[in-house]
Amino acid sequence: MKLSSRRPRAVLAALAASATVTAVLTTPYAAAEPVVEQTPTQSAALDPTVDETFDGSTLPAGWNVVDGTWKVQNGRLTGTSTTAGQLSRITFGTPLTDFRIESHLRFESAVDAARWVAFGLDLAPAGAVPWSIATLRNGSTAANGLEFAQRTPANTWNVTDTAAAPIAVGVGRQVALAVEVRGSRATWYVEGREALRTTMVNRSASGVQALLVNGSTVSFDDLKVTPLAKESFIRKPGDPLRVWAHRGGSSAAPENTAASDEVARRGRAEWIENDVQPTKDGVPVILHDDTVDRTTDGTGAVRNLTAAQVAGLDAGSWFAPAFTGQRVPTLGQQLDGLKTRGGNLLLEVKGAHTRDSVARIVTEIRDRSMTSRVFVQSFEPQHLRWMHELAPELPLGLLRSTLDPDPVAIAKDLGLSAYNPSDAAFRTRPGIVAELHAQGVAVNVWTVDDATRWNSLEKAGVDGIITNRPAELYGWNSAFLQRGKPAVLSPAAGQKADRAQQVRIAVTSSEPATITLDGKPIENGAAIDTTGLAAGEHVIKAQVGQQTTESRFQIVATPTGLAGLVLTSGAKPAAISTMTTLLGQRQYRVLALYAGTPAANIPAARRAQIIAEAKALS
């Protein structure tokens, strides 16, 4: 934290002249860390499936200790792993696709700074591999202080994403942590602030939640698991563009194949777009064209070929020799691949379909419990009407080469989650974004592969881009998240200040920033009078455009701060002398009592502060 000199100078001189108060100033203190409450990012949530405060003396019913020592004591759950090689685990909860897991936790001890604690995002109840976790290291500000990781079927690690945590955790500090999971996507939150995202969470049909501890002892309180409400596809302020991978990673692999899907997945696409059409015998397969001529070594209309005939075609060698042997997947195979390896499907119902062929698509999705990870789009409103009738839980998007006269009206009629125009169509009327957003409908533009155009579309407020270059758009998004983002230098995140310190706002930004302290405007460079703030946590927010940065700091009770309150209280010299003497003797309770008497004659507001701080120190 950037702090000015002690205030005021006359007070400093008085403090230095008093041997009694000098002793107070040099007295070490250890202020308890207040719990920081987190605000869920979703607009609505369901009732928690797990809500534990650990007020009893035994483990909650249904919790399963896989490894290590786990016990409930003093209102907390404590997990212990005695060595760096031990992965202490306890499983609980029920299988959920979209959920938030959160807790207040504290490292009680750790073998070294690399030891960690984790939320289990998808573990077999008995703890068998594979599983997916979100980890926090004791040395949280290291480059890998936060991680998303997988324990593979071979019992090895696959760390997919890393970042430094926004605060130093260490032993003895309680922190509020949360992870929100939507299918194979997840977001880390530390003290209420987003810190890391992934699109690489491996999921299973029966995986539950868990806590893991490695080489440390960690205690937990207020643990909740809450299912998330239906997702809105409208981009939140400050969020990057949603990445929809057109026909998979089709710029780097043959479109609509398992290889293209894998490229898109590794390129961190949130959603993988594929086209579905029926074969002669009614099997839905993943293919864009009416015929197999362009993208396979076969010929003919796909609707004139059986599924067995399509399965025998080479769908990779046309793109490059390295992809020889790639096949045209069935929808079932594509869904199975996404379910086991991760990923979400933007499924375009392509060409002519009957109600029965749409019903077959729904059956394939439901049989694999993938309805929460599939988004359906089509150029044909009738396909979407059938889809809504048969599977109202699936989000729907209408594709358009030219805009409808009234996009809002057709969105309402079809129950759309998104209206998806071509880029050429969107250019004719960019104002549709605001109109559709007002009705809760997202706008995703296709097919855009140019970074200059991505920039224009982001500024226009669109929610996502359907692109052949998902990896490049993901990288562009990463740069976008840093572009113009203000940095709060002071007060620094997690810092503590007492009443004798003057904190000065310091925000650095390439553009003028709007700054607030606890929601009230404040100027960059302004001094904060700590005597005017309540004890506890305060929030500095700096915003440039849609980019927002937060810094949370605390006002804590210290002997030094209490001395500053006393010396600037306006009390008579005799009363100040009495109170500073009590300070030097650490008679905080007596000081609190004295400050409340008529003899002290302290103004009401300052009197309340002195009493509160003295009681906090007693």
Active site residue 353: no
> What is 212-251 written as a DSSP string?
EEESEEEEEEEEEEEEBPPPP-SPPTTPPPEEEETTTTTT
Residue with tokens 């020799």: 321
Mapping DSSP onto H, E and C, the string for 292-330 reads: CCCCCCCCCEHHHCCHHHHHCCCCCCCCCHHHCCCCCCE
Say if residues 348 and 466 touch (Cβ distance below 8 Å).
no
ω into 405 cis (within 30 of 0) = no
The C-alpha atoms of residue 470 and residue 269 are separated, in whole angstroms, by 6
Q: Give the pair of three-digit tokens for residue 494.
A: 């997690």
Residue 381 Cα to chain centre, angstroms? 34
Q: Give the pair of three-digit tokens for residue 15.
A: 């403090």
The C-alpha atoms of residue 228 and residue 205 are separated, in whole angstroms, by 17
Residue 546 DSSP symbol: T
Inter-axis angle of helices 355-367 and 331-341, to 10 degrees? 30
The C-alpha atoms of residue 176 and residue 493 are separated, in whole angstroms, by 14
Say if residues 1 and 490 touch (Cβ distance below 8 Å).
yes
In degrees and rounded to multiples of 5, residue 336 shows phi and psi of -60, -40
Active-site pick, 104, 246, 383, 538? 246
Cα distances (angstroms) measured from residue 438 to each of 109, 428, 543: 51, 20, 23
Active-site pick, 104, 288, 353, 383? 288
Active site residue 246: yes
Give the active site residues: 246, 288
